[in-house]
A and B are shown apart, each in its own frame.
Chain A
Amino acid sequence: MSPQTRSLILALCLGFAACSGKPEPQAEGRNEKQEVAASAEAPQAAAITPEHATAAGIETAVAGPAEIRETLTLYGSIRPNAERQQEVRARYPGVVRTVARRPGDAVGKGELLLSIESNDSLEPYAIRSPIAGTLLERRVNPGEAVDGSTTLMVVADLSSVWAEFAVFARDLGRIRAGMPVQLKTSDGETGGTAKIAYVAPSGSGDTQSVVARAVVDNKGGRWIAGQFVTGDVVIADLRVPVSVVPAALQKLGDNAVVFVQTDKGFEPRKVEIGKRGAEAMEIRQGLAAGERYAAKNSYLIKAELTKGEGDED
């Protein structure tokens, strides 16, 4: 239904009238239906009644205090705890006579590992394990000549291992000793928690990263040196006075907003976000504790507020 249609029809009819000498007056009025364009300003509130909200799947919650755990994921690998690893060397040069243990054997502290016949005394002397642990390496066999510089065996106490993570520049300031870290194997299995014990003061020029180390209890023996490990470091764990669930946050223009339920419907509230956790987000400004906000399906409200803007096609 458009004005030119009307003009076309009139032109047709007029043509007849004109030739019979009876011109009809030109039409001026129009009767087209026209949608009134939506106002440019976003409305103050999305008028959605609680019933419609429920029907559409919008769920509300009350803003309030929450524990927020903010975590940072780091990749690294398991290494033997350097403080609990011993290399066994010969005290006097000589020839190995017997080797009492095989790699992988558990050894007690002071347990006989091997005996060496000293070149000087031609008497065998015993070498005993300096610590309780596991025999990791055995580099000699009976009959070999050794001297004091040769590492004969490596014994490590694997009940405690190190998880060493690479920390890149961006995160360096956020990781400190003492932070708890949740460990995961590369298969994604969780493997207990530990604490960051040490963040290296100097980095490696090659990788542009520094090492953050956690001492991991390994009494169960699940960690194997060399294994890759993923750690979620808890960089913040605190109680905040006002928080919302992450699904409540929407972007409206350039602002982060939370939709607060009022008598008129849902009102967009510009908020400042503080700490971000997986289950809760701290709201520093814009929302007070006790206010009811749209927690689930909040996108529907954003859509309701902005739907007029989208043009067809």
Chain B
Amino acid sequence: MIDRLIDFAIRQRWLVMALVAGFVVFGVFEYKRLPIDAVPDITNVQVQINTRAPGYSPLEVEQRVTFLVETAMAGIPKLESTRSISVYGLSQVTVVFKDGTDIYFARQLVNERLQDVKSELPDGTLPEMGPVATGLGEIFLYTISAEPGARKPDGSPYTPIDLHAAQDWIIKPQLRQVPGVSEVNSIGGFDKQYQVAPDPARLLAYGVTLRDLIQALQANNVNVGAGYIERNGEQSLVRVPGQLSDLKAIGEVVITTRNGIPVRVGDVAEVGIGKDLRTGAATLDGAETVLGTAMMLIGENSRTVSLRVADKLAQVARRLPPGIKVEAVYDRTVLVNQTIATVQKNLAEGALLVIVVLFLFLGNLRAALLTAMVIPLALLATFTGMVENRVSGNLMSLGALDFGLIVDGALIIVENCVLRLAQAQHRKGRTLERNERFEVVGQATREVFKPSLVSVAVIVLVNLPIFALGGVEGKMFHPMAFAVIAALIGALVFSLTFVPAACALLLTGNIAEKDNGLVRAAKRGYAPLLRGALRARWPVVAGAVAFVVLCGWSASRMGAEFIPQLDEGDIAIGATRPPGTGIEQAVSMQKHLNLAIKALPEVDFIFARNGTADVATDPMSPGRSDVFVRFKPRAQWPDPGKAKATLIEEVETAAQSVPGTAFEFSQPIQMRMNELISGVRSDVAVKVFGDDFGELLRVSEEVRRVLARVPGAEAPKVEQVSGLPLVTVESRRTALARYGLTVADVQDAVSVTLGGKETGLIYEGDARYPLEVRLAERLRTDPEVLARLPLAREAGGYVPLAEVADIKSTEGPNQISRDNGKRRIVVMTNVRGRDLAGFVAEARNKIEREVKLPPGYYIEYGGTFEQLASASKRLTVLVPLALALIFGLLFMTFGSVKDAVLVFSGVPLALTGGVLALLLRGIPLSITAGVGFITLSGVAVLTGVVMVSAIRDLMRDGTPLEQAIVDGALLRLRPILMIGLVASLGFLPMALNTGTGAEVQRPLATVVIGGIISATLLTLLVLPALYRLAHAPGRTEPPI
């Protein structure tokens, strides 16, 4: 079948060319559709349900909102798990679905369940699903600020309220319409409110209660439609407007009459424009600002979407009120462009080097170019495969492509065609006829097609275990494995169709019959070495084995990391202040922090999100901030050569000089990913589940003590969940009864005066602002005012709050976390100096014996060790299976166990070079390096197959063993050197590049280059020696 395919390609070469051209057009079209981002998206399929419960403390939020929402989600199809947090004023339930669930289907299911639960939730709370976005979704951030000295039309300076209003009512509605934008979030400034601030003393004076005031406002602020009247054939609509429109109108609302004299809102309350009780703020350098975040829809192309957002924002900015300016502070395009530039540069340089090598060895420019043509074709095939399978392009997936590997198959074929054509010309003493040429090309392709097929199959097989990785590792590396496999299969298909057709078309005229000087020199050097190796075969093989053992030993001593972290350029700092830090306090601390860091000459600007944004995708307490530090371009640094790590240390020192804040350094994307996945990041997590908070804390503390005694435990820590200052107003029911009051009277009075009560909306065009009744700020903050808050009595007169309620200062839970519907506290520990599995077994045993659990409480064990367990279980089955398959493949190729083993022995030999190269460059082991080893084993098998099959061909023709080995090795020297050189030179730019994203690719490239050098050397010297040993005279088995 393959023969027919090759023949067809040669005969119908023009058709093949036309098909290839058609494919190029299609491939380019697909490439445009490829979603490209800097890193793979490792977010799981999740739907967030955010419910705002204004004024509720964490305990009430959990009881009244979270529990109901969570219960409603139980048993939803394809559910993986639910988790929730309840913090002040906000409930967030995250429903995680099984990987592969369609996000819109998942949202549909969640929405159905939400409909049922809505009626049970307290008034004023409305559950909303989070935006359809992932951890990579925050692609564009901008700030809105007033230009210095800018004034509003009425002459007053712009306030944070105005900036927030500009974001909410001018910028956001327009950005939301940009295709690919899922949500525009804002944080900072204040929401404008029409505030009615009653004075308790005046309420008393007029005998008006808060309830009267609220009812009056509610009853005087609606427009009503009243149908239509048809009169004399004409129909008129009836409307009864009653909406309040401005401050004056609000002040004029009549609450009641006293002796015929109206008591108006303005008589008992101050009416003004006020600020909301915000949960979040934003700072830019040393000033407050409003920060907008455009979030990208799942599956969109981050580069195009952020470009569109930037365009739209520029348009919107021109139409803003004069004096308000918008600045982009984070644009994913920058990072993606830099990353792509790095990948492109590597690819272009690699491709150039590959062409140079091909030309040098083949001595034929046409042959070199046509081999190199496979690179773009295979890439287009990869893009097509990725688009069709919804795999995103990024540093991991595109960066791992090795052109050496891609052109290997084509290279062997072209090399053999050139060789055979030259030989045929030499035999005939003239250039070939067209038919003769086709014949020779077909023959040459068939000869070496087996090694190309085997090499592709081998690399596909070694990549397969990567698909077995689950969780985060899986999401990280699946795209890469997919890209590599797609590229290879694409390359294979083109090698068998395009390459022979192109060879037949292009390799006309005189083909240099002899090796060029380079190859001749190589052969001259190689022949004596080879003979020497064959003579000293025992020492050579023993040395190789010793070398492998030595390298294996050093590999086990090497450091390891998950994957090298992509340097995003900017840094992000998670700033944490103690629980209970107020938002205004946090903002003032943040400003100081910003200024301290800004003082560094390398820093361009710095901005921060404090607390929770309007759309609570990441509920943070007011004391927590996400700080983004943007550096100037290196050229503008005082010392452009300064290492990033040194700079980060300097930032850290500057940050430490500002008291009161703890820091965690990270990068924007990395930070967001961690927040979303929110798995426990310690090695072992003991989760204590139960109902009573105090009891949970007690048990957790006990677990911590037990854990601390298990050898290997490192600083076990109980998750910080308490310490939030609370003021509790506890009604004394008997006292209330004496005054004829109810608990509801107390609750209403306190919640309205302190928390505020929204009584309606005031419309200003599209914009609408709440009309809120709340005590004036100076009164709210005074604890004495609360104690003396007069409660109006039915019978007339009043009683101060403190007479009927106890006002206590306590501490309560800062946040309440639940996993799968049960409260939990996590005790975390890392493990050093012993194996995880053993540690977990011992810890589990000890905890079971020593910690007494109250009924209904239970403990679960989690943490990263779980992932390790499942990953190693899969890998222990799949890696040997893949290797067995490779071996089977080799056996099928050669029909000889011995030869298969011989070729296989190239794998460990190849790995040694990779290990050495890593050691030399001081790069730790990582999964990327592991992928390099996978590539290496493919190359090693390929060169082995090329060499062994030549030797076997010669032996089949009757050449004696030793002669066959020498001849075969010399014959295959050129392709083997070429394979080695293209594969390693193709990666050379990647190994040496320092651009954005290079650090992720460097280990891979290093491993491949080092490994290929060793693999090539060892294939050329050790393999013949081994072959000689294995096929020692008297033991030779006839080749099948």
Contact = CB atoms under 8 A, between A and B. Distances in A.
**Most chain A C-beta atoms within 10 Å of own C-beta, residue among B199, B560, B578:** B560
A69 interface: no
Given A16-B907, A73-B784, A312-B576, 20 more contacts: A4-B871, A8-B875, A9-B930, A13-B930, A15-B875, A15-B879, A18-B880, A19-B883, A19-B904, A34-B832, A37-B715, A48-B659, A52-B658, A169-B803, A170-B800, A170-B802, A170-B803, A188-B199, A309-B579, A311-B719
Interface stretch (B159-167, B660-668, B744-752, B766-774): B660-668
Given A16-B937, A55-B596, A168-B803, A7 B868 contact: yes
A38 B579 CA distance: 16
A188 B785 CA distance: 14
Interface string A176-195: 00000000101110000000
A202 interface: no
17 contacts: A3-B868, A8-B927, A22-B908, A24-B555, A55-B592, A55-B658, A56-B660, A57-B588, A168-B800, A170-B800, A206-B797, A207-B799, A208-B738, A309-B720, A309-B723, A313-B675, A313-B815
Interface in A281-305: 299-304
Nearest to A204: B797
A303 B887 contact: no
Interface in A11-69: 11-20, 22-32, 34, 36-37, 46, 48, 52-53, 55-58
Given A2-B562, A8-B872, A300 B907 contact: no
A310 B662 CA distance: 9
B798 interface: yes
In this complex, the interface size class of chain A, counting residues with CB under 8 Å from chain B, is 35 or more
Interface in A119-136: none
Top 7 nearest A-B pairs (CB, nearest first) are: A6-B560, A15-B879, A303-B660, A4-B868, A24-B552, A228-B205, A311-B720
A39 to B, nearest CB: 10
A20 B589 contact: no
Given A34-B714, A37-B715, A15 B924 contact: no
A299 B560 contact: no
Contacts of A301: 659-660
B739 interface: yes
A11 B872 contact: yes
Nearest to B933: A13
Nearest to B878: A15
Nearest to B809: A251
Contact of B929 (A3, A9, A26, A168): A9
A228 B204 contact: yes
Given A4-B867, A186-B199, A303-B581, A34 B830 contact: yes
Contacts of B658: 52, 55-56
A5 interface: yes
Nearest to A15: B879
B518 interface: no
A36 to B, nearest CB: 7
Contacts of A3: 560, 683, 831, 836, 868
Interface string B572-610: 001011110100010011001000100000000000000
Interface in A58-107: 58, 73, 75
A30 B908 contact: no
Contact of A10 (B469, B714, B784, B925): B925
A31 B946 CA distance: 41
A299 B553 CA distance: 55
Contacts of B865: 4
B560 A31 contact: yes
Nearest to B85: A313
Interface in B661-681: 661-662, 664, 675, 678
Interface in B728-774: 738-739
Nearest to A14: B879
A73 B930 contact: no
Given A8-B872, A301-B660, A22 B199 contact: no
A220 to B, nearest CB: 21
A110 interface: no
B552 A25 contact: yes
B552 A12 contact: no
A171 to B, nearest CB: 9
A222 interface: no
Contacts of B720: 309-311
A271 to B, nearest CB: 16
Given A19-B904, A187-B202, A5 B799 contact: no
Interface string B543-570: 0010011001101110111100000000
Contacts of A108: none
B872 A53 contact: no
B360 to A, nearest CB: 32
B503 to A, nearest CB: 35
A1 B879 contact: no
A308 interface: yes
Contact of A302 (B199, B578, B717, B905): B578
A304 B658 CA distance: 9
Interface string A243-272: 000000001000000000000000000000
Nearest to B718: A311
A239 interface: no
B836 A310 contact: no
B502 to A, nearest CB: 35
Interface string B355-390: 000000000000000000000000000000000000
A160 interface: no
B465 interface: yes
B884 A19 contact: yes
Given A31-B924, A168-B800, A12 B465 contact: yes
Nearest to A33: B561
A307 interface: yes
B978 interface: no
B101 interface: no
A8 B803 contact: no
A55 B560 CA distance: 42
B224 interface: no
B204 A27 contact: no
Nearest to B924: A31
A150 interface: no
Interface string B640-657: 000000000000000001
Contacts of B717: 37, 311
B555 A206 contact: no
Contacts of A311: 717, 719-721
B557 A208 contact: no
Interface in B891-934: 904-905, 907-908, 911, 924-927, 929-930, 933-934
B926 A5 contact: yes
A118 interface: no
A292 B947 CA distance: 85
B128 interface: no
A230 interface: yes
Contacts of B574: 312
Nearest to B834: A28
A228 B258 CA distance: 15
A43 B727 CA distance: 27
A16 B937 CA distance: 9
A53 B659 CA distance: 8
B242 interface: no
**Most chain A C-beta atoms within 10 Å of own C-beta, residue among B830, B831, B864:** B830
Contacts of A186: 199, 201-202, 204-205
A159 interface: no
B875 A5 contact: no
Interface string B531-548: 000000000000001001
A222 to B, nearest CB: 16
A306 B911 CA distance: 50
Contact of B660 (A9, A20, A304): A304
A20 B868 contact: no
Given A52-B659, A302-B578, A16 B559 contact: no
A271 B884 CA distance: 75
